[in-house]
Chains A and B, each alone.
Chain A
Amino acid sequence: MKKLHVVLTLFGAMLLAAACNKKSDFNYYYYEPADYALISQYLNLPDKPDNYLSELPKHLTSLGLAPRPVQQDKAILGRVLFYDTHLSKDGKVSCASCHKQELAFSDDTPVSRGVFDRAGDRNSIALGSVLSFAAYYGTDLFGPSGIPFFWDNRANTASEQNLSSMTNPKEMDMSHADITNAVQAQPYYEPLFRMAYGDGQVTPARVSEAIGEFVNAIGSYRSKFDQEAEKAIGYNVYSNIELSNFSGFSQAENRGKKLYLDNCASCHSTTQGRPPKMKANNGLDASYPDAGVGGITNQAADMGMFKVPLLRNIALTAPYMHDGRFATLEQVIDHYSSGIQFHPNLSSELRVGNTPLKLNFTAQDKSDLVAFLNTLTDEQLLTEKRYANPFK
């Protein structure tokens, strides 16, 4: 009997000791080894893929705003296509040539240069907040309030936008056949298309869809403003942002916030979620050589109207306006302070009858406004690997 107890005790002790000593060692792989070896000759893609689904801050999600679903493999493929100069006539221009990550996916010239150094028509729009553009409220996934692309709002989706840029003679100047041939010629695309679409077939529609998937996932939501606004959420997000000083803001930033909310937010958004207005005329000129939205719709009411951008990362996206006419934020503020010109379609917020408003900012106001606008920069976006150039 004694022996039995000893045997059982020893056996139990041995099992416990063994159970505590072993360490798990799982090997994770995303690509088949042969595929990854091929891809790795050209690209720095991690074997454990990046997650392209972003979590918006609470002050946005509490309003019901949610990012669009992301198809992981298509976003990975889209990232490669976005940075690939093979998708241009002269082999030197990619989407990223005019949408630079370090500038919140904008460009630093009034109009960007396309293939063969051809000048574009308008200033490159920052893509750093497309996640917010593409976000939706509730079930309005593909509903009428999706935010269009381009300064003249002529593209309804990011896919339409990038296909239009690829085929624009001033930008990448590719035909649909050129796009297909250029992509098929690169060996790293076969496995990436297979993983994204189940087969390696290349079509311009798939190329633009994949780039759109990547662009829709580019998000800017970790700025100082976001951190502070998240702290301020309560029963009414708008009131809390409007009424309270942010504890993490300087006095100048809080004064700038108040000036922004009083004078700018009705067009550019209180929460930095989605812009409340799709298009507006902001009194840049009395007559416009570039008709903007009106050039697409041919409606008198749209003449001189342009897309209203979110102001996320605005400190990085100079020069400003659709034609890049203002080099600094101070110049932009000067325009709204004393430079607004009358136009029949001038936004109602910027006029009293037929008289354009003069916001008459003081030097202190201007300085405070700039201080606030600087809080809208998301530093992480500028170096985030999942958005970076994957080419070796």
Chain B
Amino acid sequence: MISRAYFLVAVSLMLVFAACTSNRFYTPNTMNIPMLTEAGQGTVAGGLTTGSKNTGWEAQATYSPVKHLGLMFNHFDLRHKGEAPTNQSSFFFFEKTPYEGQTRLTEGAVGGYYQVGPQKEYLLSLFTGFGQGRSENRYSAPPDQQSSEIYVSDWRYQRYFIQPALSLKYNRFQVGTGIRFAWVNYLDGNISSRVGQLETQRIELLENSSPLFFTEMAWSIGWRLKPVVISLNSTAVVRGKNTLRDLDLASNYVSLTLGLNIHELKKKF
């Protein structure tokens, strides 16, 4: 009962913090916080996010081939839309242009996990990984043109990360929190500078600042219905540096995931 109440409070809080920020340049995927304790354990999970401006899905998996060693796989696909301030037409005026975008990322990681605490109820993990992704943003023509032309900017990027995490697992309830130190390296892209001066300047800033280094923080709260786990997750970019604020990087990503603990499935059948 208590765990269900916590779960509902957490849902409300995360939705409040899921602020409208830009997904055009980078969006954090759900941080995959492992709950591995033994060799042979594995989890697969599918996640969804939906809202007026975002629709996304992701697939995540963790597996421990030997005790203390874990493998991780993540795939992320997000479609988003909004309005980009594309031109500063004068001291007072900004021109906003509607856009639709898609960003994808596939990555793998390897790491270790340890149980600590008097009853070994805490799980510490440290993973490091690498992935590659692609972002594409499609902008409408400026409003004054009444044109159906679409201007496209797209690029590939790589992400390297190191992720320490801490989690707790109870019978009906699990929580986890983690920090992800991310290096995002923008590789090659084709940019229509007709997307507007302001937006082009931002993309140039993105290119010139690459690789971007920043920290992401995440937490996850899950309701365990063995072998299924329903989790609500939030991952946020810590936008401390001016560059990150100027780029208006997406500050928060909230998802609902449905996980299946393979080892619990084996026990059950």
Are the CB atoms of A22 and B88 closer together than 8 Å?
A: no
A16 touches B91 (CB 8 A): no
- A33 nearest CB across to chain B (Å): 11
Instruction: Report if B110 contacts A (CB, 8 A).
Output: yes
Closest to A18 in B: B160
Checking B92, B112, B130 against A4 with a beta-carbon cut-off of 8 angstroms, the contacting residue is B112
Report the bound CA distance from A29 to B193 in whole Å: 6
What does the 1/0 interface line of B111-132 toward A look like (CB < 8 Å)?
1100000000000001011100
Min Cβ gap A201→B in Å is 12
Inter-subunit contact B192/A24 (CB<8 Å): no
Q: How many residues of B contact A (CB 8 A)?
A: 47
Which one, A15, A27, A29, contacts B130 given CB within 8 A? A15
Q: Within residues 14 to 69 of chain A, which ones have a CB less than 8 A from any CB in chain B?
A: 15-16, 18-20, 22-30, 48-49, 51, 53, 61, 66-69
**Which one of A8, A66, A195 has the greatest number of beta carbons of chain B within 10 Å?**
A8
Query: What are the residues of chain A within 8 A of B128 when measuring CB–CB?
Result: 8, 11-12, 15
Residue of A nearest to B148 (CB): A198
Q: Is the CB of B146 within 8 A of A198?
A: yes
Complex interface: chain A residues within 8 A of B89 (CB): 53, 69-71
Interface size of A in residues (CB-CB distance below 8 Å): 39
Q: A11-B110, A15-B128 are in contact. Are A198 and B187 (CB under 8 A)?
A: no
Complex formed: what's the CA distance from A8 to B114 in Å? 14
Which residues does chain B contribute within 8 Å of A49, judged by CB atoms? 193
- Bound-state Cα–Cα, A61 to B26, Å: 36
Please name all residues of chain A whose beta carbon is closer than 8 Å to the beta carbon of B186 when the two chains form the complex: 24, 26
Chain B residues whose CB sits within 8 angstroms of the CB of A71 once the complex forms: 89, 142, 144
Contact A72–B197 (Cβ < 8 Å): yes
Closest to A65 in B: B91
Let me know if A66 and B92 touch, CB within 8 A: yes
The answer to whether A19 touches B68 (Cβ under 8 A) is no
B residues in contact with A11, CB < 8 Å: 110, 128
- Cβ of A363 < 8 Å from any Cβ of B? no
Q: Tell me if B73 is interfacial: C-beta within 8 Å of chain A.
A: no
The docked-state distance in angstroms from the alpha carbon of A67 to that of B147 is 26
CB atoms of B145 and A8 under 8 A apart = no
In the bound complex, residues from chain A placing their C-beta under 8 Å from that of B87 are 72
Chain A positions within 8 Å of B10 at CB level:
none
Question: Which B residues are in CB contact (< 8 Å) with A26?
Answer: 155, 186, 188-191, 203-204, 207
Kindly state the separation between the CA atoms of A1 and B93 in the bound complex, as whole angstroms.
Answer: 61
Q: How far is the CA of A69 from the CA of B197 in the complex (A)?
A: 13
Residue B69 lies at the interface, judged by CB distance under 8 Å to chain A? yes
In the complex, whether B149 has a CB less than 8 A from a CB of chain A is yes
Residue of B with least CB distance to A17: B160
- Chain A residues with CB below 8 A from B185, complex form: 19, 22, 24
Please tell me if A7 contacts chain B, counting CB pairs below 8 Å. yes
| Seed contacts A15-B160, A18-B130, A28-B193; 11 additional CB < 8 Å A-B pairs | A12-B128, A18-B160, A24-B207, A24-B208, A26-B186, A26-B188, A26-B204, A27-B191, A67-B90, A70-B90, A199-B147
